[in-house]
Structure 1
Amino acid sequence: MPSETLLAEPAWIHDAVFMHVYPLGACDALMPNDFQSPPVARLDRLLPWLDVWAALRVNAVYLGPVFESSSHGYDTADYFQVDRRLGDDAALARLVGGLHARGMKVVVDAVFHHVGRDFWAFKDVREKGQASPYRSWFTGLRFDAKNRFGDPFVYQGWHGVEDLVKLDLRQDAVRRHLFDAVAHWVKRFGIDGLRLDAADDMDLDFFDGLHAFCRGLERPLWLMGEVIHGDYRQWARPGRLHATTDYALWKALWSSHNDRNYFELAHTLKRQVAAGEGMYEGLTLYTFADNHDVNRAASLLKELRHLPLLYLLLFTLPGAPSLYYGSEWGQQGRKEGGNDRPLRPPLPEPPGPPDSPPGLRAAITRFAALRHQHEVLRRGRYRELLVRSEQLAYLRELGSESLVVAVNAADKPSEPVDLPLPGAGEGEWVDLLESGRRFSSRGGRLQLGALPPTVGRVLRRA
């Protein structure tokens, strides 16, 4: 099979604007799971938000863990059972059905690196020891010592955490079980994609097998891996995954504002996506300003006035941009002493609290709308035009369509901005964010003058 066929992504991902939701937190689920209480359909609490997300121009939702787990969702107990704290199959089907009815795709967390100690096969090992037929399912399992829980065996955990038991993904029986779970999710709920948790700590050939398996399913799945560090091309390549998380861009987005150093962001973009030289040019990576594992963007930035600029950049740069629930109104949240709960709060009743800074939601909605309206922002090439400590300008181009994005992060007007646009000739450019504001191009230069404080422009030839 040709490599381009193996790598083919579902077409919708190029047009995606994600909302990322952590259901156990957003729905205020109790922790830990007692595994005895009847299911409570807390997922229904998300249903009133669907139209709100649609109004934000969201058209894809990434759901954090929704299957039975011991506590936070990443300690799976049963891949075939909806977490009773969130409801049952019918509750998840209602949510996915509501999203699909609004034209939204659904991606779910696939936590395949490890399971919780309550995972049914691991419980069998705890009960039967070496007599368990599942003893080969777990990495590093040995019966010559005790673990910290007092079991007469030891095993590998995620980064040494014994609550998270590492699966041996080389075992055919383990792969069959996980692949069967994926097939079940597709058939029962009609999901559109998987986010592979801890992908950067998993056997790469597991993803090759998953990709091959998914080609035989009744609907194509988008496969995206959580990768913190490394060359994303190890994971996003023909016959493997379609994309990874883009933590390099995440870091550059906030720290370049805090350090008044757009050179950092420009370097990251040139290295990753610059036309003709970027390592990941042509890949649609999953881009974000924050998520369930990192401090909220509103808490990371030293100055909240930069928050709209950060989102303008996110939505006009290559990738599939994602909002994290609540961040559209400037939700604060910091990880405290290793505790992730402040990052994963309950969702209030819609539409949520007032924006901080004011107008943030309207700005994000405008940026998302621009992305949907202009294919060049979704599929176009990236070319740097200007970089200064607090000003950045770049070109997105696709065929005959071109858009120029220019931002000034300073709290005062910039020095005059004069951008090289070879072949642009003479003409007028209109700012799509400020109706009626026009600028001239002459002799292959686009003259924007001084950019006002903390402002961004998206320009198109009139």
Structure 2
Amino acid sequence: MNEPDWIQHAIWWQVYPLGFVGAEKTTTTEPAAPHRLLDLVPWLDYAVELGASGIALGPVFAAETHGYDTTDYFAIDPRLGTLEDLDTLVAEAHRRGLRILLDGVFNHVGRSFGPFQQVLTEGPGADTATWFTLDWPDGAAPGVEPGYRDFEGHHHLVALNHAEPAVADFVVEVMQFWLDRGADGWRLDAAYAVPSTFWAGVTSRVRAAHPDAYFVGEYIHGDYAAEVTAGGLDSATQYELWKAIWSSLNDANFFELAAALERHTALLASFAPLTFVGNHDVTRISSRLDDAALLPLALVILFTVGGTPSVYYGDEQGYRGIKEDRAGGDDDVRPLFPASPGDLSAIGQPVFAVHQELIGLRRRHAWLHRATTEILQLSNEVLSYRAGAGSGSLVVALNLSDSEQRVDAGGASSLLGGHASLDGGVVVLPPKGWAVLD
């Protein structure tokens, strides 16, 4: 229960900056365009219009390619701009009431990372040799490359040794440097690959100077609650719910979603998960769903269950994109955005309007951050649940079928959203319709 008070009202708009601004695929000291981070400034008012309260930035630090191969944690990637450009972006965001979440890759580094290059140059006697898990050949000398532990078989990503105190000191220094410059929190990339004891030590030290900082770890599988607690984190990425949302809609199987919501409610007893239907690592929700008419139902679930919702840039416009397991397979879901909101196609406006409606509802019922769900009615194609926390309560009804459905309104008496109607104590849902009731 470490989370700062402000996170109770947070809704993130997640941006992958290197893709958003059309940066080169590999590092360069002479990018085609300078100061690209400033291209994000015209989009801050758009984020406010959407209803977001924060910008979750993907990697912005100097890196070799996609940003998750960091080479200098104290420098902005030259493809994006300068330290002053990030300062401007943070200041402009804060001026609009938007928080800034940075993406910290502290499990592994790029091969050009200074301490690793020192190892390659100086050999086993390098001061930074203990920062990594190395396998030296017999008689190794300066200039000889050792074997090393990498990240999940990606040999260009050199894993850090988290048992080394100097690595913890370094991560604390990095985190505090950027929090001092105005960042509000950290997304911890591949947190699942790092010992929870490491996170616990680091976050406790950083919180001493920045008690309002927010830390969310990337966890895909495993015991989310145990990892968050052991690591002293505030939250974890809720991949189980993400999968259940699109899978249950595609398969017309609300039983899967109901089971996931039961487990989600259990997590809320200890922390509020980071919830999403899209991010920089997965196929976009508009491409994932077999029936585009069901997209609003996915969004209704996202914005009416407990947690901290995140919207991935472009999803609010109905962007499509498929992630592929190949080199460059992320490019389709990390696209260049137009120069300004006025350049967006009108085709995305209906999806944007649904996001606005549901985010507005969420902001007016901020208690949904810690709301638990109670299933009221369940079949393959019809689901209703009550979301509640404290004295707050809403009823959500969803219809996957191609026919009108009559669903018990659970005592609710007014329609807050959707195209349904109330008939006494029953909510009448049109085909593939939804309703949020009070």
Q: Residues 79, 139 of structure 1: CA spacing in aligned structure 2 closer, same or farther, 3 A cutoff?
A: same
Change (3 A) 1:110 1:89: same
CA-CA distance at 1:173 after TM superposition: 1.0
More helix by share: 2
Matches within 5 A, 1:287-436: 287-338=275-326, 339-351=329-341, 352-354=343-345, 359-414=350-405, 416-419=406-409, 421=410, 424=411, 429-433=413-417
> What residue identity is the alignment partner of 1:360?
V
**What does residue 458 of structure 1 align with?**
436
Percent of pairs with identical residues: 38
Q: In the alignment, is the contact (CA less than 8 A) between 1:226 and 1:245 conserved in 2?
A: yes
CA distance in 1, matches of 2:170, 2:267: 35
Question: Equivalent residue of 1:194, what SS?
Answer: strand
Q: 1:21 — aligned with what? A: 15
Of residues 67, 71, 95 in structure 2, which corresponds to 1:77?
A: 71
Distance 1:257 1:355, change over 3 A: farther
CA distance in 1, matches of 2:432, 2:420: 19
Contact 2:235 2:271 in 1 (8 A): yes
Aligned partners of 1:126, 1:39: CA distance in 2, in Å?
33
Alignment correspondent of 2:225: 233
Candidates 105, 114, 118, aligned match of 1:111: 105
| Deviation of 1:377 (Å) | 2.4
Residue 214 of structure 2: aligned partner = 222
CA contact (8 A) 1:253 1:265 kept: yes
Cα deviation, residue 206, structure 1? 0.6
Separation in 1 of the partners of 2:398 and 2:437?
11
Give yes or no for contact 1:376–1:396 (8 Å, CA) kept in 2.
no
User: AA paired with 2:331?
Assistant: R
* Structure 2 letter corresponding to 1:399: G
Residue by residue over 1:369-400, the C-alpha shift from the partner in whole angstroms, topping out at 9 and shown as x without a partner, is 00011234233332111111111111122333
Cα separation, 2, equivalents of 1:112 and 1:43 = 22
Residues of 2 paired with 1:47 and 1:38: CA distance?
A: 19
1:138: Cα distance to partner?
0.7
Cα deviation, 1:390-429, whole Å, max 9, x if unaligned, reads 1111112233332111111223222x2125x4xx5xxx71
Residue 281 of structure 1 corresponds to 269
| 1:15 CA drift (Å) | 1.2
What is the CA–CA distance in structure 2 between the aligned matches of 1:168 and 1:174, rounded to whole Å? 7
- Residue equivalent to 1:444: none
Match of 2:248 among 248, 251, 256: 256
- Of 137, 156, 169 in structure 2, the residue corresponding to residue 163 of structure 1 is 156
Code of the residue aligned with 1:307 in structure 2: it is: L
CA distance in 2: counterparts of 1:319 and 1:20, whole angstroms: 16
Match of 1:130 in 2: 124
> In the alignment, does 2:264 pair up with 1:272?
yes
| Normalised TM-score (structure 1) | 0.89
CA contact (8 A) 2:305 2:371 kept: no
C-alpha deviation, 1:61, in angstroms? 1.2
RMSD, matched Cα: 2.1
Distance in 1, matches of 2:359 and 2:164, equals: 43
Q: Aligned pair in 2 of structure 1 residues 145, 237: CA closer, same or farther (>3 Å)?
A: farther
1:271 CA drift (Å) = 2.1
CA gap of 1:234–1:399, structure 2 versus 1, over 3 A, is closer
Question: Using a 3 Å threshold, how does the CA distance of structure 1 residues 251 and 145 change in structure 2: closer, same or farther?
Answer: farther
Q: Where in structure 2 are there 5+ consecutive unaligned residues? A: none
Aligned partner of 2:9: which letter?
D
Going from structure 1 to structure 2, the CA distance change for 1:96 and 1:413 (only over 3 Å counts) comes to: same
Secondary structure of 2:215's aligned partner: strand
